[in-house]
Every structure is written in C-alpha cells, then in structure tokens.
Structure 1
Amino acid sequence: MKKFLKIFLIFFVGNFVFAQNSNDGNIETSSKKSLGEKGTMFVFWGWNRAMFSKSDIHFKGNGYDFVLHNVVAHDRPSDLSWDYINPGEVSKPQFNFRLGYFIKDNLAIVIAQDHMKYVMDQDQTVDFTGHISDPTYAAMVQNGQVNLTDEKFLTFEHTDGLNYINLGVEKYKNLYAKENLEILWSYGGGLGLMFPKSNVKIFGNERSDRFHVAGFGADVRTNINFVLWKRLMARVEGKFGYINMPDVKTTLNNKPDKASHDFVFGQINFGIGYVFNIKKK
C-alpha cells in the first residue's frame, strides 16, 4: 500500500504542477474547447488496478464471534482477453463507469460505478481474538493465531465485485486546446454506497454469493483527460478513498451471520469515453 500511495502522490502532485505551469504561459491554451463547457456531458468506460490496506474483519453468527486482525487482501485483474471489449462479458474485468454533466463551466456532477475485486489472501497467518463454539474450527486457532491456508476455515472475497456506486463533483481546468486536441486536468471527490456481491464461505457452510448494500465509501480523485476532435476522450485517473462495510453477508437464507470491516483503497484507472455537447444554441 505504501508503494501505491507514493505513486498516487506523484501522480497528484505532478498533475498540480502541470496545471500551475499553464498559468505561466508555458502551455498554449485557447477558447476552442468542448469538454468543460456548461451543458456538456460525457460517458466513460475504463479499467482499474486497486490496492487495499490491511483490515480487521469481525465475524459474528450462531456459535461464533471473533476478529481476524490485519488481514491482507489484493485485487484480481482478469487475464488480457476479449472479455475487456466483448459486450456480453465487459463486466467481468475490474471496470469503471462514469456519466458526467457540467452544471457550469469546468464543474461537473459525475455518477459512477467502480467495480473493484477484493480477495483475501489465503496464504497468511493472522491474529485471532474471540470465540468459536464448534470444536473442529476452534482447534484451528493456535496460540491466538489462525492459518487461513486451510479454506475449510474461511474464504472471503468481494469479486463480483467490490462495487462502489458513487456521486462525485469534479473541477476541471483546461491546460491545452487546439482544433483537434484538448488536455484537461480535474480533481474532486465522491461519496456513495457499497453494493458488493460477496463470495464468502465460513466453517464449511454453503457459499454466500449475492448482491447487497453492505456500507458506504468516500474518495478523492484526480485525472488527466485527452479529448480528440472534441468528441473522443481518453483518461488516466488516480483515486484514494475509504470503505466501511458493517453488513457483509456470510451465509445464505437471510441468516443473521455477518462480517464487518473497513479499510482504505487506492486505484489507478484508465479508459476511453465520448463527449456530448447538449447546450442550446
């Protein structure tokens, strides 16, 4: 996570310096622009790599109430294939969707979905506090620790996925504008709901695998946008945020069993979009 934070800070600071240089006359700009004008809309589809901090995961249900401490998890990018552009399979990889509308010049409201994947590493031993009534699984706890390599104890994923449905505000600054190329920098933040499809299997129970509202998230973001011929958009974005999910379903049939955890996350996103100008002439 520290490595990702360094990359994010370099990206954010680099964007800021780049934007400030435009005020010094080092970057040519003009009034000929499309993205950023009041009434403009854009749609965007892209892909991401995500990183997550360690988290304490609290499991509670019939016969158990325990916490696994400092659990390590990673994302799960799909192998490079036609799934990334196949209309019937595009939701399988880690993706990002944006729909933006400029309510005034250089200020946009953005509806978004960030489809990340969160996978608990099985090859780890973590600290354990709490109790388990079942002697089979209680015996897996040794000296206050449990080895998660044995999948009979637990598998824990948000892989269909860790869906962050959010509403954001983004401020844009035009850095360069020519007839067929615009470059814009933006920054902003968002807030939204977590709607994961969590794949969880605990103590040999049937896997819980269903969409549900599990909590909330918040983020800050910055990006560089390249607009070609006033319509085609390419974006590179860095995002940093916080997720809190107090209601992760861990068993089927609406049992009260659940897990809760919170963590910080980071993303690097890239993709393409299209710009619509719906201003009244």
Structure 2
Amino acid sequence: MFYFDRSRNKQRIVSLKHKLYFLLICSCFSSSVWANENATPLTINDKKGNWNIQWGYNRSYYTQSDINFRGPGYEYTLKGVDAKDKPESFKADVYLNPSKFEIPQYNIKFSYFFTDRFFLAFGQDHMKYVVTPGQPVKYSGYIDPGVIAKNQMALSLESAMFIYLFPDHVQQMAGYHGGDQTITLTPDILKYEHTDGLNYLFLDFGWITPLYTSSDGLSGISLVSTIGGGPVVCRSDVRVLGKGQNNNFHLSGYGVSGYVATRYEFSRTYFIEFGGKGGYIDLTDVLTSGGSNRASQNFGFLELVLSGGIAI
C-alpha cells in the first residue's frame, strides 16, 4: 500500500511538470505572436544598421586653372586654362558590360546608417579632365632653350607633325616670360589629360531628410546631403613641349566636396538618385614627361550624378 501511494504521488508530480512545461511553451508562443501582431511594420525611414550600395554615372565641369610645369631647366605657368570632361558615348557593350566598367565616368558609393537619418559613406568618383586643345593662354616663367631642343629628340607623333608644319611655334616658349605673352595650346606645346582617371576617393558624413512617404511606408522621396573629402589619384596622359607619356596611377593631391541629391525609394530595397556634387581639387604632384618633371594645379568642379542603388 505504501509503495502504491508513493507511485501515485510520483505520477502526479510528473504530470504536474508536464502541465507546467506546456503552459510555459504556450505562454512564450502567445507572447511572441502578440509581439509580432503589435510590432510596427518597417518603413523606408527605418534605416539604422542598413548598408546602401549605389552605382552611377556623371558629367563633370571645371573652373579655369593655372597649371605650373617644372623640371630640370624650366619652370613656367600657363594661366586660366580651360578644361572639360570626356564622357563615353552610350554603347550597350560598354555601359552594360561589367568588364568595361572603368571606361565611362562612373561613381560608386557605400553608405552605412548609424541612425535612421545619419550615415557615413565612402567611394570613388571617376571623372575625366581634358585641357581644351587650341585655346590661347597667357604664360610666365623660364624655359631653357636646351630643354626644347632635347624634347624634340623624343617627340610624340602628334607633336612631330605639328613641329614639322610650324617649326617656330614652340621656340616662342624659350627664355624668360613675364606673363603678358600668349601661346596657343597646340600639340607641340601641350597635351594634358587625366582621362584614365581624375579619381576622387572620398569619405563623407551624410544625412537624409524625408520629404514624402507613401501610406504603406514602402516608397517615398528624400533629400540626401553629404560633406567630405579625400585623396585624388590621377593617371595623367601628358606631353610637355612635345615630349611626354601616359603615366601610371599616382597620388596627385586631394579634394573636398559637398553633395545634394533627390532620392526616390521603392520596395524598401531599391532607390534612384539624382544629384550634384561641388568641390575643390588641389593637385600638387602630377606626373608629366617622366623623371622629376611635374605639374601642379587647383580648380573647382561640379558633377551631375545619376545613380541607382540597393539597401541591405
């Protein structure tokens, strides 16, 4: 009888444990369901912890620039030089071919939102810069006549043809010049391009301001703003007084900038953005015709950028 009662008590304890476990599981499940039912659905304005990745293309515009050239036997400055960008004409084989992504003037940016509104961004603006050929400019400085004679022993093809047709043109650059003289930038005088890249590498602080959000919170329009700066890496194709080369990539200076854009977001995942970036670039160490020959310049710039992106 004693063993029988003890056995019954043990069964009751086991049964009670099972009921408690069952009630605990039900309680957790119901709490989870209640929490899910009462949770506020995420909208495009809930950005904290998100990454944005975007890709786009630009048109670029530049202010006039004084370009200083220096090397053994010469140092002179071309004043008020005009330059423009060099966009690739639209071709599906270029713009839709991932293996040729570096050919157009492109922009790539990665952003991390550390709050719903504020973010840090880093990336690259691949611009192109071409001094307009044929323009007349004033110049000052000194060029040893021996430098011109030496350069004519290693002329580029386009320079050689022009010097053959107009042999006295480049000779005008010899000697001292006070800044009142004018020279036309023909191939025997200068070819100057950053076309394999005026590459602005930036780190920006930014913020986003919602302007309109749809009723379901899945699409809307926002204003995006950033400020920042970073190094500029150039690959410069240069001919100075007829001699030069297409140089390697080189850390040539730095830039600072501000950016404002309008963004349209949809499906909480994708967005399209159109904006403008303005800033200042100071190139203190541009490679030119080899050896210790260098150039330096500074200028303002404006980019118009159309890009698309994804939020993850």
- TM-score range for the pair, normalised by the shorter chain length: 0.7 to 0.9
Q: Report if the CA contact (8 A) 2:44-2:219 is conserved.
A: no
**2:76 aligned to 56, 62, 66, which one?**
66
2:220 aligned with 1:220, yes or no?
Answer: no
- Counterpart secondary structure, 1:88: helix
Structure 1: gaps spanning 5 or more residues: 1-29, 277-281
Specify the alignment match of 1:92 in structure 2.
103
What CA RMSD, in Å, does the superposition of the two structures yield over aligned residues?
Answer: 1.8
Residues 107-116 or 178-187, more deviating:
178-187
2:296 aligned with 1:260, yes or no?
Answer: yes
Over 3 Å counting, the alpha-carbon distance change for 1:77 and 1:131 in structure 2 is same
Over 3 Å counting, the alpha-carbon distance change for 1:96 and 1:35 in structure 2 is farther
Specify the alignment match of 1:232 in structure 2.
270
Counterpart Cα distance in 2 of 1:75 and 1:163: 13
Structure 2: gaps spanning 5 or more residues: 1-39, 149-169
Counterpart Cα distance in 1 of 2:213 and 2:90: 34
- Runs of 4+ aligned structure 1 residues displaced above 4 Å come to 140-143
Specify the alignment match of 2:239 in structure 1.
201
TM-score by length of 1: 0.82
2:245 aligned with 1:245, yes or no?
Answer: no
1:171 alignment partner AA = W
Counterpart Cα distance in 2 of 1:267 and 1:230: 27
Specify the alignment match of 2:13 in structure 1.
none
What pairs with 1:140-151 in structure 2 (closer than 5 Å)? Answer: 140=173, 144-148=181-185, 150-151=186-187
Residues matched between the structures, number: 244
Q: Report if the CA contact (8 A) 1:36-1:172 is conserved.
A: no
Greater share of residues in strand:
1
Specify the alignment match of 2:47 in structure 1.
37
1:117 alignment partner AA = K
2:196 aligned with 1:160, yes or no?
Answer: yes
Deviation at 1:35, TM superposition (A): 5.7
**1:173 aligned to 200, 204, 209, which one?**
209
Counterpart Cα distance in 2 of 1:174 and 1:128: 50
2:309 aligned with 1:273, yes or no?
Answer: yes
Q: Report if the CA contact (8 A) 1:245-1:261 is conserved.
A: yes
Counterpart Cα distance in 1 of 2:237 and 2:114: 39
Counterpart Cα distance in 1 of 2:97 and 2:135: 36
Counterpart Cα distance in 1 of 2:267 and 2:220: 8
Deviation at 1:31, TM superposition (A): 8.0
Greater share of residues in helix:
2
- Counterpart secondary structure, 2:100: coil
Specify the alignment match of 1:15 in structure 2.
none
Specify the alignment match of 2:172 in structure 1.
139
**1:125 aligned to 117, 123, 136, which one?**
136
Greater gyration radius: 2
Counterpart Cα distance in 2 of 1:41 and 1:184: 17
Deviation at 1:152, TM superposition (A): 1.8
- Counterpart secondary structure, 1:122: coil
Over 3 Å counting, the alpha-carbon distance change for 1:152 and 1:102 in structure 2 is same
2:105 alignment partner AA = Q
Q: Report if the CA contact (8 A) 2:189-2:242 is conserved.
A: yes
**2:227 aligned to 184, 189, 194, which one?**
189
Over 3 Å counting, the alpha-carbon distance change for 1:193 and 1:48 in structure 2 is same
Deviation at 1:139, TM superposition (A): 2.1
Counterpart Cα distance in 2 of 1:264 and 1:99: 24
